[in-house]
A = this chain, B = another copy of it.
Amino acid sequence: MPRIVVDVMPKPEILDPQGKAIVGALPRLGFTAFSQVRQGKRFELSVEGEVTEEVLAQARTAAETLLSNPVIEDVVNVQVVAD
């Protein structure tokens, strides 16, 4: 069944307390290579049948209206994954 993956990240200017917590914990666990961490969301929408242009348009609109909060988040990716 094909899936559409939607990735949502906090806008760059928005404070991301979860990312901050992770970037603080990483060096304490020996991971010293990373200077910043941002945490966002990933959605997988399963599609019955074919992913038509109309289905993809529905996914894009749902991503902007239901899956993300456009005041504080950006939809960074809407992508079809076949499997």
Contacts and interface: CB of A to CB of B under 8 A. Distances in A.
Nearest to A7: B42
B47 A33 contact: yes
Contact of A25 (B9, B33, B47, B66): B66
In the complex, the count of this chain's copies comes to 2
Nearest to A44: B38
A23 to B, nearest CB: 8
Interface in A16-60: 19, 22, 25-26, 29, 31-48, 54-55, 58-59
B33 A58 contact: yes
A17 to B, nearest CB: 14
Contacts of A42: 7-9, 39-42
